[in-house]
Amino acid sequence: MFLQFKVSNFRSIGEEQVLSLLPEANQEEFQENILAHDGYSALKMAALYGANGSGKSNVLKAIGEFISMVKDTAHAVFSDTLEFDPFLLREGWEEKPTEFEMMFSLQEHRYRYGFSFNATHILKEYLFRQTRGGEVGVFEREGDTINAGSSLKATAKMISSAIKKTKSNSLFLGNLYLLKVAEANVIFEFFNRNIMIDGLKSFNFGELESICESSEVKIQVSQHLKRLKAGLLNVEAQVYGAVATHKFYDKEGNATEKTVSWDFFERESSGANEVLEFSVPINVILQLGGVLIIDELEAKLHPLITLDTINLFLNKETNPNNAQLIFSTHDTNLLSYARLRRDQIYFVEKNSWESTEIYSLADVNSVNDHESAKSTETQDMEKEKRYFEGRYGAIPVFDFR
């Protein structure tokens, strides 16, 4: 399960920001929104709100960049430069490293893995494992010096080989994976079950179909579209697209046993196309039990379909494999109609030196400087109304001078 992510000095993000799916102890609402697995607890989802240009996308891009670097690093060559994109609006920050850290749970262990880097070098890298006895170091790296802890379950030969293969611009964890170290394989499996998509862009359905090899996922996609009353009997994913099947009606408008099939993307409406594009990754993650990250969830969807998507993840029956959803949105209806806890709602805004900062609604009393009403904020307040009133911050501020 995804537990927490930290990032600093990345694009619009200066100082360290934390996106946490760890439940707040003082939040008692919607206990069903908490996953309990492997002895750890995590929230099923988190929603990010904020004005255009506040940095919501950069928070999600940071997670995507972290995962991409981990998955791609094993294939790096010495000439490759790293995707170093630091904060540029404050003196000296272009010389600071970018830092990423993710906390997650796997097979009754909690892991904390992170690294820092600049354009050419991995500067630090570490992996810690939390057990009932406490946190132990699996390995730690400072520049080109890598120290493997006694808890790293691999032979001395494998560890030595992984160290030798680790270049200044690649990650040690990636080489442990290439050498088939069991613990690294399990961690990589977790990262491979993370999908990030941009709601404003069209997806390459052929690529999505390649991760949709399970016949069960194809069935779920078809059922999903039928449940949304898209007028379809069946949708069959193929290598280069999809085929839609409809009922055929007689002269009186009665359904017959005959059906009509055609290319989904050529003849179905643009709205149906957009629902299909979202349906594939949603159902893949629900089947795999991974993490789906969507920037602008509501960009192409009807508000009720957006709400339905959230409910799919919150409902244990439709989400039996502990899948999680992290998304940014401008859909304030969700503040009123989605059954979201206060610690699942995040706000994103720029500070006085234009650096992105994030905080949850559960923290609102510590960040809200609007009138004395902040001290009486309770979970049953009208969240949407109060957000529009500016009581939580993270809204556009207009200057008409």
Q: Which two tokens stand for residue 323?
A: 């899948």
Task: Flag whether pLDDT at 374 surpasses 50.
Answer: no
Sequence-separated (6 or more) residues with CB below 8 Å from residue 128:
111, 112, 113, 135, 136, 137, 138
Q: Which residues of 175-186 are buried (b: 16+ CB within 10 A; e: fewer)?
A: bbbbbebebbee
DSSP assignment string, 200-230:
TS---HHHHHHT---HHHHHHHHHHHHHTT-
Say how far apart CA 243 and CA 261 lie, in whole Å: 7
Q: What is the pLDDT of residues 55-81, one digit of tens each?
A: 999 999 999 999 999 988 767 666 678
Residue 16's nearest CA partner among 5, 31, 28 is 5
Q: What is the mean pLDDT of residues 105-127?
A: 95
Contact in structure between 105 and 37 (CB atoms under 8 Å): yes
Say how far apart CA 59 and CA 295 lie, in whole Å: 10
Contact in structure between 48 and 59 (CB atoms under 8 Å): yes
Q: What is the pLDDT of residues 145-199, one digit of tens each?
A: 999 998 998 999 999 999 999 999 999 999 999 999 999 999 999 998 888 887 6
Q: Which long-range contacts (CB under 8 A, 24 or more apart) does 268-271 make?
A: 268/244, 271/300, 271/302
Say how far apart CA 326 and CA 221 lie, in whole Å: 20
Q: What is the pLDDT of residues 253-303, one digit of tens each?
A: 999 999 999 998 889 888 888 888 888 889 889 988 999 999 999 887 889
Dihedral (Cα; 23, 24, 29, 32), 10-degree rounding: 10
In the chain, where are the structural domains located?
2-193+334-388, 200-288
Q: Which two tokens stand for residue 168?
A: 């200044």
Say how far apart CA 60 and CA 331 lie, in whole Å: 17
Q: Which two tokens stand for residue 297?
A: 């969830």
The C-alpha angle with vertex 82 and arms to 79 and 85, in degrees rounded to 5, equals: 145
Q: What is the pLDDT of residues 184-231, one digit of tens each?
A: 999 999 998 888 887 656 555 544 445 555 567 777 777 777 777 667
Distance of CA 190 to the CA centre of its chain: 12
Q: Which two tokens stand for residue 175?
A: 């080489």
Contact in structure between 326 and 309 (CB atoms under 8 Å): no
Q: What is the pLDDT of residues 384-397, one digit of tens each?
A: 888 888 889 888 87
**Alpha-helical segments (H) within 106-198:** 156-165, 172-178, 182-192
Percent of the chain clearing pLDDT 90 (strictly above): 59
SS3 state of residue 137: strand
Cα separations in angstroms, 329 against 4, 57, 278, 279, 358: 20, 10, 15, 18, 14
Q: What is the pTM of this model?
A: 0.89
Dihedral (Cα; 30, 31, 33, 36), 10-degree rounding: 180
- Which residues sit opposite 107 in a β-bridge? none
What pLDDT was estimated at residue 338? Answer: 94
